[in-house]
Chains A and B, each alone.
Chain A
Amino acid sequence: MNFVKELAGAIGQAATVLPPDVVRALEGARDREEGPARVQIEAILENVRIARDGAVPICQDTGTVSFFVKVGTRFPHLQELLQALPEATRKATKDVPLRPNTVHPFTGKNPGDNTGRYVPAVTWEFVDGDGAEVHVLPKGGGSENCSALKMLAPGVGLKGVKEAVVEHVVACGGLPCPPTVIGVGVGGGADLALKLGKMALLRPLGQRHPEPEVAALEAELEELVNASGVGPMGLGGKTTVLAVHAEYAHRHPASLPLGIAVQCWAHRRAAVRISADGSIAVG
């Protein structure tokens, strides 16, 4: 079993082809906007077409690669998959090519292949079954620099959560390349809140959280942030976020952790599904 080729292909697809749900959300934004805001969205959509048609990276910051893997407890190829993730990252770096982005924080050395200690970052989730689902999420530095953790006092309640999200996203202005996608993680501990925010980004745009309370929070946050007027690229306009997605975990009674994962408009993702017999499908 060797999954390197297909996984490298998925990384390449993420880098060059924006998912259709993100394109649709951007087209909706274009139709709402006018003036400099519309100029920005039109440039984005033209850029997306050029990248797709020429199989070149959508953005020069091809990000650091992370994987979110849902793996069945009876999946028979775990060792091969484990080895394939960094190998596929190296291969995609050469094939696409991707910008070499991993830097040793002490020595400043860049191995040149987008791998390194704990990178690509892999989040494993074990589920019942015998297959595996691998999600690729390459993420740029500009938007990641705007991700944040707030340890709120539980007394502020959901209102406090809303206020903290809106204040933070608006304060980021044009830095994360809006219109952004925001993943909000509520509850858990500090680490889990941020992880949940990132996992919320994996859900296709236009798909709400299945629980009505969470879905309502997502819709309200979208409306509130977009009322700020920050707009595409922070130049003013109606669309500051394309979507807000939320996830939650139970929390300690004394803690209300809030993780805010900020993703740029180039919300690049891809997924592959591997069956127990080793067959592999992209998408």
Chain B
Amino acid sequence: MEKVLTTPIAEKDVRALRAGDVIYVSGTMFTARDEAHKMMLERGSPFAVEGLALFHCGPVAQKKGNSWEILAAGPTTSARMELFEADFLRKFKTRVIVGKGGMGEKTLAALGEVGAVYTHFTGGAGALAAKAVRRVSAVHWLEELGMPEAIWVMEVERFGPLVVAMDSHGRSLYKDLSGTVGKNMEAIRARIKGGK
């Protein structure tokens, strides 16, 4: 079933989600990559974060007059943020993480502890993502971090499709899949050995 979650997202609403669900997010979403995670943990956040959606993304943005326009905004590889994410979730209580490629055990545990989900947005679908962005409401630390690493706060409408890939009940599609792929690989290796 397709579900739209609107920010601020309540803990109980994300706890109701299960790995494999497809959701959309409306409301406020902000981008943060490696450097922004690090800085927000060190200095605190320059805006209220609880209940928002966090997007692992370095967008292409263009200034038009006094406002910014997002041209492309697909997800970046989330695994790099594994270093920071568990602490980040505990401190800032973002309820939906949007990224690609999945994250590790520490984040999975923190999702359960805090009440949050990790969702997968189609890698490379930067134009589709940008189309869901209504406006940029703020950009933080642009001078210091540059365009890809800055924090872009955006108002979005029906941002998605987002596949819930890691839920707050300890289930990860990536973990499930690695078992299936492991078995398939045994058969593939046997085929190669038996072939010409």
Measuring CB to CB, which residues of chain A are less than 8 angstroms from any residue of chain B?
36, 39-40, 43-44, 46-48, 50-51, 54, 56-62, 97-100, 110, 140, 142, 158-159, 162-163, 166-167, 170, 173-175, 177, 220, 224, 227-231, 233-236, 264-266
User: Chain A residues near B187 (CB, 8 Å)?
Assistant: 227
Q: Are B101 and A175 in contact (CB under 8 A)?
A: yes
- For residue B41, CB closer than 8 A to chain A, the reply is no
Sample (8) of A-B pairs whose CB atoms are under 8 Å apart: A47-B125, A57-B126, A60-B74, A60-B126, A99-B147, A99-B148, A228-B185, A230-B181
Decide: A60 near B195, CB < 8 A? Known: A54-B127, A235-B165, A266-B124: no
User: Chain A residues near B77 (CB, 8 Å)?
Assistant: 142, 175
Q: Are B177 and A230 in contact (CB under 8 A)?
A: yes
Q: Are B131 and A50 in contact (CB under 8 A)?
A: yes
User: Chain B residues near A61 (CB, 8 Å)?
Assistant: 58, 74, 76, 124, 126
Tell which of A97, A99, A166, A177 touches B58, judged by Cβ atoms closer than 8 Å: A99
Which residues 155-183 of B sit at the A interface, judged by CB distance below 8 A?
161, 163, 165, 173-174, 177-178, 180-181
A87 to B154, CA, bound (A): 34
User: Chain B residues near A110 (CB, 8 Å)?
Assistant: 146
Which residues 97-135 of B sit at the A interface, judged by CB distance below 8 A?
100-102, 120-131
Decide: A224 near B188, CB < 8 A? Known: A44-B124, A266-B124: yes
- For residue B67, CB closer than 8 A to chain A, the reply is no
Q: Are B122 and A43 in contact (CB under 8 A)?
A: yes
- For residue B60, CB closer than 8 A to chain A, the reply is yes
| CB-nearest residue of chain A to B125 | A47
- For residue B48, CB closer than 8 A to chain A, the reply is no
User: Chain A residues near B129 (CB, 8 Å)?
Assistant: 60
A61 to B192, CA, bound (A): 36
Tell which of B60, B100, B127, B195 touches A97, judged by Cβ atoms closer than 8 Å: B60
User: Chain A residues near B51 (CB, 8 Å)?
Assistant: none
- For residue B20, CB closer than 8 A to chain A, the reply is yes
A266 to B122, CA, bound (A): 11
Q: Are A56 and B130 in contact (CB under 8 A)?
A: yes
Q: Are B192 and A59 in contact (CB under 8 A)?
A: no
User: Chain A residues near B125 (CB, 8 Å)?
Assistant: 43-44, 46-47, 59
A110 to B71, CA, bound (A): 20
Q: Are B126 and A234 in contact (CB under 8 A)?
A: no
Q: Are B128 and A224 in contact (CB under 8 A)?
A: no
User: Chain A residues near B121 (CB, 8 Å)?
Assistant: 43
User: Chain B residues near A48 (CB, 8 Å)?
Assistant: 127
Q: A175-B77, A227-B188, A266-B124 are in contact. List 14 more A-B contacts (CB 8 A).
A: A39-B161, A43-B121, A44-B125, A48-B127, A58-B127, A60-B73, A159-B195, A163-B192, A173-B101, A175-B79, A228-B188, A233-B120, A235-B165, A236-B173
User: Chain B residues near A177 (CB, 8 Å)?
Assistant: 100, 123-124
- For residue B43, CB closer than 8 A to chain A, the reply is no
Decide: A142 near B22, CB < 8 A? Known: A43-B128, A99-B60, A110-B146: no
| CB-nearest residue of chain A to B148 | A99
- For residue B57, CB closer than 8 A to chain A, the reply is yes
B163 to chain A, nearest CB (A): 5
Decide: A51 near B101, CB < 8 A? Known: A60-B57, A60-B58: no
Most chain A CB inside 10 Å of its own CB: which residue of B128, B174, B189? B128
